Amino acid sequence: MRPHTWRRGAGLAATAALALATLAQPAAAEPTTPAKTDDTAITVAGSWLEDELIDGLMDAGGYTDFGLTLDSGFALDQAGEKGAVATINAAFQSVVNDYISGDAFGDKGSTYAGAVAKAATFARVTGANPTSYGGVNLVTRLEERVSSTSPIVGRIEDKSSYGDYANTLGQSFAVRALTEAKSQRAADALGFLLAQQCTSGFFREGFTKDKTSGAQGCAEGQPGSEPSIDATALAVVNLLEGDAKGPAVKPALDKATAWLASQQKKNGSFAGNSNSTGLSGWALGLVKDKDAAARAATWVRKQQPVDRSRCRSALTKDIGAIAYDAKAVKAARNSGISAGDVRAQWRRATAQGMAVLQWASASTDELSVTLKRSSAEAGDKVRVKVWGLDPGERACVSVKGDAKRIVGKASTKPVTRKLTMPTGNKVRVVKVKTAAGSAKARIAVSN
């Protein structure tokens, strides 16, 4: 999938005299047909993420990252990219055993509970049968990893010679997968998940190391029970998307989302990165806290650089990608998104951050650029107003010789910049370009 490209009419006037006559009044925005495309931040992100797939799977710095592949599949599903999800599904089914066990690298007879749970959830999202997925009954395999022994009834456990690394992230996927499969083990898994919620509302990420201890739940303020934004957000998402049932579910969701909302910074982010902000905003959007979700989406969108037109940089070829944070954007403008760990970070930030963009606020205006003046002299700094940028949306406004990167503010406010007029007796075009749209105005410039 690629952003739509719109052809624009109304070129420059054939002669300077005709142009000057045309500009007798203050320059207004040149009509756009249409002024904005129907592409959104999430579809542009989805387009980039889809292009990063290699034969339907995701690389993470020299190796296939199956977890990131599934994160990408969940994100693309939220973006409505069913074709891309089907591509991942087809590729992943053939290698599912390499994700849910370590047989391929010497961990014979192993099963990784969180991986099985995530794979089963993904299978359901794609419309595939998790009881026969790539030749594996993921539901039965998962049920076998849910403890029925006190005091850890319901806890998922890895079967591995390397130890047990199951945690709350995988537990929430297990609850979702088992609930959707109508498994008899769903209630036990749900009970153990809810025990990982602390009194303040957050979920901890790790489990109690001692499986014989009678204290298997969160003990707020104690080592091992530190708050986790990501675990809390994923618990909310999986409980809601899996339609978990039980009298304790709604109170748990209310407490979790209240805690999440309290963690949102004034700038809209969570923990200052796109991964946590995207997951948290997604969770809050699902419970219809649209204001918090929109503010999170605005912050994530600001990490989605659009270095087009005269604002070109090493990031221009990666329109749609979402950075981990502003520092990552700054670094990549010079060096680009290099291979290896850097590109893996951008892929993960895009996959985990983009779902919240479905709640991104839209401007009430059409994309346009206006000038207060109809003419200027070379070297003049002319005030330019750009209307119609969505909050957080990146764009480039430029005239020959000068360009400014800009970002949308509130949906009803223009973005104002001053551009230096170039030399030459000529009508100049002032243009604004977003990820998928453009608009322009003209001004007569004389020496």
- Domain harbouring 318, CATH code: 1.50.10.10
d(CA 232, CA 260): 7
Clarify whether residues 107 and 214 are in a common domain: yes
Single out the residue of 225, 188, 258, 163 nearest to residue 217, CA to CA. Answer: 225
Please state the rounded mean pLDDT for residues 285-299.
96
Residue where a domain terminates, one of 340, 359, 378: 359
Clarify whether residues 155 and 290 are in a common domain: yes
Q: pLDDT exceeding 70 applies to what percent of the chain?
A: 91
Q: What is the number of residues in the chain?
A: 447
Clarify whether residues 23 and 138 are in a common domain: no
The type of residue at 322 is I
Residue where a domain terminates, one of 324, 344, 359: 359
Clarify whether residues 153 and 281 are in a common domain: yes
In a domain, 427, yes or no: yes
Joined tokens for residue 178: 């088992």
Single out the residue of 23, 1, 9 nearest to residue 427, CA to CA. Answer: 23
Q: Which residues contact 6 (CB under 8 A, 6 or more apart)?
A: 32, 33, 34, 37, 437, 438
Instruction: Flag whether pLDDT at 217 surpasses 60.
Output: yes
In a domain, 297, yes or no: yes
d(CA 26, CA 118): 59
Instruction: Indicate the pLDDT class of residue 335, thresholds 50, 70 and 90.
Output: very high
Clarify whether residues 345 and 400 are in a common domain: no
Instruction: Flag whether pLDDT at 33 surpasses 60.
Output: no
Clarify whether residues 372 and 309 are in a common domain: no
CATH of residue 379's domain is 2.60.40.1930
In a domain, 3, yes or no: no
- 95 in Cβ contact with 135 (< 8 Å): no
d(CA 193, CA 168): 7
Q: pLDDT exceeding 90 applies to what percent of the chain?
A: 86
Please state the rounded mean pLDDT for residues 130-155.
98
Clarify whether residues 148 and 293 are in a common domain: yes
Instruction: Flag whether pLDDT at 62 surpasses 90.
Output: no
Clarify whether residues 32 and 162 are in a common domain: no
- Please give the pLDDT value at position 259: 98
Query: Domain containing 186: what range?
Result: 41-359
d(CA 290, CA 302): 18
In a domain, 46, yes or no: yes
Clarify whether residues 193 and 282 are in a common domain: yes
In a domain, 4, yes or no: no
Instruction: Flag whether pLDDT at 107 surpasses 60.
Output: yes
Structure confidence by residue, pLDDT tens digits, 157-187: 999 999 999 999 999 999 999 999 999 999 9
Structure confidence by residue, pLDDT tens digits, 196-207: 999 999 999 999
Q: How many domains does the chain have?
A: 2
The string over 9-22, giving b where at least 16 C-beta atoms fall within 10 Å of a residue's C-beta and e elsewhere, is: eeeebeeeeebbee
Radius of gyration of the chain (CA): 26
In a domain, 139, yes or no: yes
Clarify whether residues 386 and 343 are in a common domain: no
- 60 in Cβ contact with 99 (< 8 Å): no
Please state the rounded mean pLDDT for residues 110-135.
98
d(CA 141, CA 98): 14
Q: Which residues contact 196 (CB under 8 A, 6 or more apart)?
A: 168, 171, 203, 204, 207, 217, 218, 231, 235
Q: Which residues contact 288 (CB under 8 A, 6 or more apart)?
A: none
Clarify whether residues 97 and 67 are in a common domain: yes
- Please give the pLDDT value at position 411: 65
Q: What is the 3-state secondary structure (H, E, C) of 289-314?
A: CHHHHHHHHHHHHHCCCCCCHHHCCC
Please state the rounded mean pLDDT for residues 85-89.
98
The string over 359-368, giving b where at least 16 C-beta atoms fall within 10 Å of a residue's C-beta and e elsewhere, is: bbbebebebb
- Please give the pLDDT value at position 413: 86
Residue where a domain terminates, one of 359, 391, 414: 359
Structure confidence by residue, pLDDT tens digits, 374-396: 999 999 999 999 999 999 999 99
Single out the residue of 19, 106, 15, 98 nearest to residue 63, CA to CA. Answer: 98
Single out the residue of 376, 387, 390, 388 nearest to residue 443, CA to CA. Answer: 376
Clarify whether residues 30 and 94 are in a common domain: no
Q: Which residues contact 191 (CB under 8 A, 6 or more apart)?
A: 153, 154
